[in-house]
Every structure is written in C-alpha cells, then in structure tokens.
Amino acid sequence: MLHVNLSAVAENYRLLKSKLGSTQCGAAVKADAYGLGMTAVAPALVAEGCRAFFVATIDEGIELRNRLPSEEIAIIVFGGILAGTEDTFVEHRLTPVANDPGQIDLWRTHCHRLGQSLDAMLHVDTGMNRLGLSPSDLDRVAAAPEVFEGPNWTHVISHLACADEPQNPANEAQLARFEQAKARLPEMKGSFANSGGVFLGPRYHFDLARPGIALYGGNPTGSAANPMRQTVRVLGRILQVRDVTPGMTVGYGGTHEVTRPGRVATVAAGYADGYLRSGSGTAHVYLGQTRLPVIGRISMDVITVDVTSVPPEDTRPGKFMELLGDQVTPDDAGDAAGTISYEFLTSLGRRYHRIYAPPSKTA
C-alpha cells in the first residue's frame, strides 16, 4: 500500500517558495513525479500557484498537458526537439528546451513556417557535460544573434552537478559560467537551481527554479537536517510468521543463517515493487516504532523480517509494517540499498494500491 500525502507535497512547495523570495518556483515532475504519480501531484502544485512544470520526455509532456489544459501552465521538455516532433510540441503546447545548435535551428525553422513566436528555453552547459550548448557552441550562437530570431526564448537554463554538496567549489564555478552565459544572452531570463540550488542561496536563484526531489521529501541540503516533509508512505502487509531455530537459513541462496531461536515475518513487497534487492542484508522496516532488520535476500514479491524482538500479538498476519515513511525516509532506504532517494522513489512499482490524501482534485 502506497500513501502519497499531497498536503505534504504542497507544504514542501511552500517552503521552497519561501526560500525563493521573488523567484518563480517551478516543479520537476519528470519520471511520473519521481514515482509519486504526476497526474495527482501536478494539480496539487497548481493549487499552490505553480505554473511551470518540467518533464523529461515529450510523452510525459503530453500526459501532463491532458491533465492540465490551462493556457497559463507551461510544460517544459528537457529532452528538447527531435526532428519530426515539432508539430507535436505545438499541438500540445509544450515548451522545448534547445540543447544544441541543431535544436535551436529546428524550432526557429518551425516558428518561421507557422509565422508564430513560440516559447522555448535554451540550455547551456556550465560544467556537467550532459546536456546543453558547449562553450564553443555558445560562442558561435552568441556571435550570430540571428540564430535566435523567431522563437520566444523565455529562459536560459543550466544544471548544477553538485548542488547537494554546498561546500563543493564546482557550484561557484558553474555559477560564474552561468552568469557569463546570461550576460551574453541579455534578452533571456535565467533558470539554474534544482532542489539543492534553492538552498545554496539567492545568488543561485535567478528567475525560475526547478526543484524536484525536495518536493517529494528528499533532503536537498546534503548533510544538514532535512527541512522537507515526508510525502510517501509504503506499508507492507504481514503474510505469514514462522518460528526459526539455529541452523536454518532464510530466503533465496540461504544467505541468512539463523543463530538463535526466533521468529521471521514474511511481508508483501519485493523488488518488483521497487523495494530494491540491493538492500538485502542492510534494509530496515518499522513495526509501529520498532526498527526491525530485513534478513536474507529481498525477493520479487516478499521480504523477510526478523520479528523476534516484538510480541507475537503485534505480528499477526494482516498487520502492516512501514517500509518507507517518516521513520524510513527515501534517503534512508536509498542508503541501505546503496543508491539515492531519487532511484528508490522512481522505482516504486505499479503494483501498490495507491492512496492519495487528500484525494487529488480536478484542476
């Protein structure tokens, strides 16, 4: 069972907004809003005043546009324009991000053909070396401003590689490069900060922020206390409880050897639900306030939990354990599985019974 607390998402949005002052706060809702469910999360953010949503792919953009038809809402596609998709962008009123000179040209040509000045954003790389114009691309296009004629270039954007490490000097270096790029593109507003960037201070904010993970409860500050509220609670039902004695093993491969008499509960959630198998031997769950170790290998549909320390009446089949929530945050669960909150959340499977509270309204 997967509970998504949309009020907590809204509260996280308000906290980010309060950090941002006059900077507009958008939202990254790619990958189905990091696994929470984009079509439920986005309307909750619209209700808080969010008007700019970032997705990765054109299909995500179309799905979101169907949910949020309002003209006032911008849906921006990080992946940019592929030749042949221009009409789809126009039909669904999606804003492309141009990541290279070829994408600039495709959008410009399309705007000329339609005789319309359609919105677009320009991505410049400032050190991540992933997406965006390289410094030499930028030199070329900035020297020939006619390259931009036609579209309405609302923002120049760039992305921080180390924003969750406030002390990392790469942040200042990227900021300096972004400021230089902006100075050469004076017509465009700026968008630079992801979740971590919001917490690096006002110099990183520019005109429009694009937080993702912080909205969903991930810690955007690196090692400081997490200021965000938890938004996701995953509960797993106890299916069976058995007594075990020394010499027995538990689960596939017999990796867990029982060393003292005890009890093991089998709980309904496994790696097919996104409960990552790499957490075998390190993950923990909660029964009420009691922290319990997951033992043996995590399998496809179930995990096994050592419940020796809790009274048998608390572990009857049908009771629920917390696999993710206030006591096991996505950061904790990610750590245990040798990964990050982002991967843990985006892996949450389709098999859970999902409950959105308060129920998502139609925007």
Q: Crossing angle, helix 101-114 and helix 135-143, to 10 degrees?
A: 40
**CA–CA separation, 61 and 54 (whole Å):** 8
The first and second tokens of residue 199, run together, are: 């917490």
Residue 196 CB coordination number (10 Å): 24
**CA–CA separation, 97 and 119 (whole Å):** 9
Which among 194, 124, 115 has a CA at the least distance from the CA of 151? 115
**Closest residue (Cβ) to ligand PLP?**
212
- 10 Å CB burial of residue 307 (0-12, 13-18, 19+) is buried
Which among 208, 187, 188, 189 has a CA at the least distance from the CA of 197? 208
Q: Which is nearer to ligand PLP, 228 or 307 (CB)?
A: 228
Min dist. Cβ of residue 219 to ligand PLP (A):
11
Min dist. Cβ of residue 71 to ligand PLP (A):
24
In the residue annotation, 30 being an active-site residue is answered as yes
The mark string for 235-264 relative to ligand PLP (x by CB under 6 A, - otherwise) is ------------------------------
**CA–CA separation, 233 and 327 (whole Å):** 10
**CA–CA separation, 213 and 220 (whole Å):** 7
SS (H, E, C) 135-146: HHHHHHHHHCHH
Min dist. Cβ of residue 37 to ligand PLP (A):
16
**CA–CA separation, 247 and 237 (whole Å):** 27
Interaction of residue 122 with ligand PLP, rule CB under 6 A? no
Min dist. Cβ of residue 146 to ligand PLP (A):
27
Query: Over the range 144-156, which residues count as b (16 or more CB within 10 Å of their CB) and which as e?
Result: eeeebebbebbbb
Dihedral pair phi/psi, residue 339, rounded to 5°: -140, -155
- 10 Å CB burial of residue 104 (0-12, 13-18, 19+) is buried
Interaction of residue 99 with ligand PLP, rule CB under 6 A? no
Q: Which is nearer to ligand PLP, 151 or 211 (CB)?
A: 211
In the residue annotation, 252 being an active-site residue is answered as yes
Q: Which of 110, 182, 210, 256 is the binder for ligand PLP (CB under 6 A)?
A: 210
Min dist. Cβ of residue 195 to ligand PLP (A):
3
Number of residues that bind ligand PLP (CB under 6 A): 12
Catalytic-labelled residue, pool 252, 319, 352, 356? 252
The interface with ligand PLP within residues 14-53 (CB under 6 A) comprises 28, 30
Q: Which is nearer to ligand PLP, 104 or 160 (CB)?
A: 160
Q: Which is nearer to ligand PLP, 212 or 274 (CB)?
A: 212
The interface with ligand PLP within residues 52-81 (CB under 6 A) comprises 78
**Number of residues assigned to the chain:** 363
Q: Which of these segments, 165-173, 210-218, 260-268, 277-285, binds ligand PLP (CB under 6 A)?
A: 210-218
Interaction of residue 213 with ligand PLP, rule CB under 6 A? yes
Q: Which is nearer to ligand PLP, 150 or 212 (CB)?
A: 212
The mark string for 154-183 relative to ligand PLP (x by CB under 6 A, - otherwise) is -----x------------------------
Catalytic-labelled residue, pool 17, 19, 30, 182? 30
Please report where in the chains the tokens 């959008």 appear, as a residue.
Answer: 107
Min dist. Cβ of residue 317 to ligand PLP (A):
38
H helices of 147-257, in order, are 170-184, 195-198
Which amino acid belongs to residue 154? T
Residue 160 CB coordination number (10 Å): 24
Q: Which of these segments, 205-213, 285-293, 327-335, 353-361, binds ligand PLP (CB under 6 A)?
A: 205-213
Q: Which of 99, 195, 266, 280 is the binder for ligand PLP (CB under 6 A)?
A: 195
Q: Which residues does the annotation mark as catalytic?
A: 30, 252
Interaction site with ligand PLP (CB under 6 A):
28, 30, 78, 159, 194-196, 210-214
